[in-house]
Structures are given as C-alpha cells and as structure tokens.
Amino acid sequence: MPDEKNTHFGYKQVPVNEKLHRVRAVFDSVASRYDLMNDLMSLGIHRLWKRYTIELAGVRRGQRVLDLAGGTGDLAARFADIVGAEGEVVLTDINAAMLSTGRERLVDNGIAGNVHYAQVNAESQPFQEDYFDCVTIGFGLRNVTHKQKALNEMHRVLRPGGRALVLEFSHPTSKALSKAYDLYSFSVLPALGRIIAQDAESYRYLAESIRMHPDQQTLRSMMEQAGLERCEFFNLSGGIVAIHRGYKL
C-alpha cells in the first residue's frame, strides 16, 4: 500500500506537504537563468521538442489554451500568435519567480492582450470545466506531487473535443542511450548548474526527478484513468523526451 504521508523529491523521500516548498525553492534558484540552462542542457534541441508539441496541439485561431507550468513562456508565446486577438492563452506556473520571468519575457517581445497570467497549482485549477480547447504542460508534470490529480484537472477544464498534451522527459528506448544519458545527467548536468547557475544541487534534483517520472506506457495509462481518450505518445530523441496526447470526447 503506497505511503500517503511521503513522496519523492528526486531520490529522497520527503513529507507530502514539504515537496511543494522544495520544488519552489529549486525554481526560485534557477528562474533567471532557466532559458540559458535549457539551451545548454539540450544543445538547443528543446526548441524542436516544443515546436513539435505546438504542431500536435492543432490549435486554431480564436481558441482557448491553458499552459500549465508554463515557466518562461515558450509554448504560450507561440500559442498567443496562433489563436490571435479572438483567442485566449492562460500562462500559469506554481512558482511566482518563473511566472514573473515568463510575463516579462512575453511583454518585452510585444505579446500582450490575449495572454493572461495566473499562479496556479496544477493539482487544483481555478478554472471552470469544459472551457479550454487545449491544455498543455511542458516539462512540469514530473515536479507535481500528485500527478494523477493534475491529469484529472486537465481533463475537467477541457471542453468536449479538446486535447491535452504532456511534454516531458521520459525513458530512453535503448540501453546504450540510457547509459550515456545517465552519465550526462549525473555528471555534466550538475557541473553546468554549478558553473552557469551557481546551483549544482537544483540540477541534480532535476536529473533525479526525470528518473522518478512514470515511463511512457504508465503515463498513457494515467491519462486514460483521468478520462482522456485516444491517448498516444510520441518518442523524441530516442525516448529521452516524449509527448503524450489525449482527447476529451
């Protein structure tokens, strides 16, 4: 029977009510250099992963989009351009520092009017049901304490015919790639964190959180349990990243 009092924070077991504060501290630390670190960690490939997510979302002009754990706004910025003035994009993050960074970035790039901002816990979303045409969460689900609750909420706020997309680090599909990825994650990544962000521990947590995240098949089953249908996933970069998509029918 699962321990309902504790959960994982990377490889550590911590009280459930403590994880949220620890995750917040991680992203408070890395917010100002988050985009630079993403480029360094992925050699810029994260931009291609996000572009493919946008394509799979199939968003059209005039639609409503919710971007959970939207961080510095990469997905929200592109969605805002696609839905136009008639549409709506809500950029959310549980972390105030990340949300502020995202807002400043979008405003500096002239993106305003159809984008709204809200500090939101993905497990308990303050939005009405059957409202959004698309809900996305990019590289954020692994940091959520109760992932199933977040998926349930994504389903609730989607309108019938809407789709949910989860872009997340996942599990490599080959043993050779997995070994190389482990070496990179636990040697190079913390070193980059120490040099660029002066914070090796936060990036060690990020590497550990990826290993603790459900694999592709398990996450698809969780999305189905939330009520989403026609669930599928797309492995990118040999399964290092996967995009899961499901529909509310």
What the block records as the tokens of 178 is 């997995």
38 belongs to a structural domain: yes
Look up the CATH number of the domain holding residue 163: 3.40.50.150
65 belongs to a structural domain: yes
14 belongs to a structural domain: no
191 belongs to a structural domain: no
Residues 185-210: tens digit of each pLDDT = 899 888 888 887 788 888 888 889 99
The domain containing residue 27 runs over which residues?
Answer: 22-173+204-247
242 belongs to a structural domain: yes
103 belongs to a structural domain: yes
pLDDT band at 3 (very low <50, low <70, confident <90, very high): low
Residues 114-154: tens digit of each pLDDT = 999 999 999 999 999 999 999 999 999 999 999 999 999 99
pTM: predicted TM-score of the whole model, two decimal places: 0.92
223 belongs to a structural domain: yes
Total domains in the fold of the chain? 1
27 belongs to a structural domain: yes
